[in-house]
């Protein structure tokens, strides 16, 4: 078969799928805005957003529309050039978050067009009004959400089939659309993501060497910002360090922004959160390591004694399920996306999102109740393998959904 995957930051969620189908001998084409991408067997073509209004900053009222339209036109012209050269795909799979699928059905009308959806925005009951520490006071923020949703509804109209990675993400969409959205996760490599009792990792050239012999609390986020609860983790640091004089905290994450708005007064959220910690912190035992290469990220989770995962009601991070596969002892925020994968007392411990003392208490329980924590960690891995393993669960689901055999 001939299959096209489209993602402005290609391959995005399609790395494993594109590679798997190419390895099976299908003709796989990738389209995106990155200049180069090397996946064995995949033919990659980059495109440029069409000239027009510049991509607007996050706060601009036109930012939900103009950049997406520029990308939609850009990828359509690139697809048209491929069609003129004879490429006619059987299946086109597009991450719709960037506007790219709007015109592709007109370029390739015979193909089955599949829309990959991540999130449908709401003014109430999800991420926007979740955190009283960062209230939304500008009504145009809500209007921008409606613009984002209108683009997604347009994307759904241009698709034959649609899919979301988790039940929670599917359920953010209006109820009348639920029957149109399948639920299939991207999948994780549980054969690679395995616990290692003998793991050892050094934090930096002159940093401490960590092993499983002394307590290590870990926290992972793409960027240190409110959406993933970094401010609560920072507030919890004095209480975490009180648990054990040898305990260390390792925080993985950059100092930019991924999902939240910009921090006030030109600061980083890292600096804002650090300045608001009310008690002294022994910073020699807190290690900010930035964004790590994937193999080092895995080792940090393998050495973890208690792993903290937090999120607003929003898209679930891949790292949450990766930590389950690694048999991490998980302490997570009691929010709806998390409850889909973590059951309190079964495969992890939950705590109220805004309660930093409860976070620390649950970590203390995790470290003290070693046998129970180990049993829950083993159950977490069992769930990760049985529900989210790429090769045995998710790839077959995708294959059936797309009709690729």
12 and 69 in a single domain? The answer is yes
* Residue 160 sits in the same domain as residue 286: no
Q: Judge if 222 and 139 occupy the same domain.
A: no
pTM of the model: 0.94
Structural domain count of the chain? 2
pLDDT at residue 57 in the model? 66
Contact 320, 304 (CB under 8 A): no
In a domain, 196, yes or no: no
CATH number, domain containing residue 234: 3.40.50.2000
Does 278 share its domain with 350? yes
For residue 13, the model assigns a pLDDT of 95
**In contact, 93 and 402? CB cutoff 8 Å:** yes
**Residue 46 domain-assigned (yes or no):** yes
pLDDT at position 54: 77
| Domain identity same for 380 and 397 | no
Q: CA torsion angle for 156, 162, 167, 170 (degrees, to 10)?
A: 0
pLDDT at 264: 85
Please indicate, yes or no, whether residues 283 and 205 belong to a single structural domain of this protein: yes
Answer yes or no: do 137 and 227 share one domain.
no
Cβ contact 114:92 at 8 Å: yes
* Helix orientation angle between 356-368 and 370-388, rounded to the nearest 10 degrees: 100
317 located within any domain: yes
Supply the range of the domain harboring residue 257: 201-388
Q: Which two tokens mark 316?
A: 């679930």
Q: Are residues 245 and 335 in the same domain?
A: yes
395 and 369 in a single domain? The answer is no
- The two tokens of residue 135 are 């209230």
Answer yes or no: do 182 and 310 share one domain.
no
Q: What's the token pair of residue 300?
A: 């940090």
Q: Is residue 29 part of a domain?
A: yes
Q: Are residues 138 and 259 in the same domain?
A: no
- 160 and 243 belong to one structural domain: no
At residue 311, the pLDDT reads 97
Instruction: Write out pLDDT tens, residues 226-238.
Output: 999 999 999 999 9
* Mean pLDDT, contiguous 10-residue spans, the chain (405 residues): 97 96 98 95 97 74 90 98 98 96 97 98 94 90 93 95 98 97 97 96 87 96 95 98 97 88 87 93 94 95 98 96 98 98 98 98 98 98 98 98 94
Indicate whether 193 belongs to any domain.
no
Tell me whether residue 239 is in a domain. Answer: yes
């Amino acid at each position: 078969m001939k299959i096209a995957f489209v993602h402005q930051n290609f391959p995005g969620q399609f790395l494993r799928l594109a590679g798997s189908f190419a390895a099976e001998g299908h003709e796989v084409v990738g389209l995106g805005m990155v200049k180069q991408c090397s996946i064995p067997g995949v033919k990659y073509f980059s495109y440029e957003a069409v000239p027009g209004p510049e991509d607007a900053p996050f706060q601009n009222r036109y930012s939900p529309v103009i950049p997406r339209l520029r990308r939609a036109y850009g990828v359509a012209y690139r697809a048209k050039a491929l069609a003129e050269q004879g490429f006619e795909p059987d299946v086109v799979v597009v991450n719709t978050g960037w506007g790219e699928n709007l015109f592709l059905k007109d370029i390739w009308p015979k193909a089955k067009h599949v829309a990959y959806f991540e999130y449908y925005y709401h003014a109430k009951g999800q991420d926007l009004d979740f955190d009283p520490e960062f209230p939304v006071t500008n009504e145009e923020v809500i209007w921008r959400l409606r613009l984002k949703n209108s683009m997604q509804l347009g994307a759904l109209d241009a698709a034959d089939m649609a899919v979301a990675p988790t039940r929670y993400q599917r359920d953010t969409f209006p109820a009348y659309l639920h029957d149109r959205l399948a639920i299939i996760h991207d999948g994780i490599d549980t054969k690679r993501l395995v616990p290692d009792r003998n793991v050892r990792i050094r934090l930096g050239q002159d940093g401490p060497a960590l092993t499983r012999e002394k307590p290590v609390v870990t926290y992972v986020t793409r960027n240190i910002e409110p959406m993933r609860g970094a401010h609560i983790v920072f507030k919890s640091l004095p209480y975490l360090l009180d648990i054990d004089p040898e305990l260390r905290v390792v925080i993985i994450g950059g100092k930019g922004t991924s999902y939240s708005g910009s921090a006030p007064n030109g600061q980083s959220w890292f600096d804002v959160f650090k300045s608001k910690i009310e008690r002294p912190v022994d910073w020699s035992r807190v290690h900010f390591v930035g964004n790590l290469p994937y193999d080092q990220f895995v080792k940090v989770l393998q050495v973890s004694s208690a792993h903290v995962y937090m999120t607003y009601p929003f898209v679930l991070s891949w790292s949450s399920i990766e930590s389950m596969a690694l048999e991490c002892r998980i302490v997570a925020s009691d929010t709806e996306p998390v409850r889909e994968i973590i059951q309190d007392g079964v495969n992890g411990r939950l705590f109220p999102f805004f309660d930093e003392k409860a976070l620390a208490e649950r970590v203390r329980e995790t470290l003290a109740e070693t046998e129970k924590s180990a049993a829950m960690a083993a159950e977490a891995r069992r769930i990760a393998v049985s529900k989210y393993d790429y090769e045995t669960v998710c790839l077959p689901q995708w294959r059936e959904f797309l009709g690729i055999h």
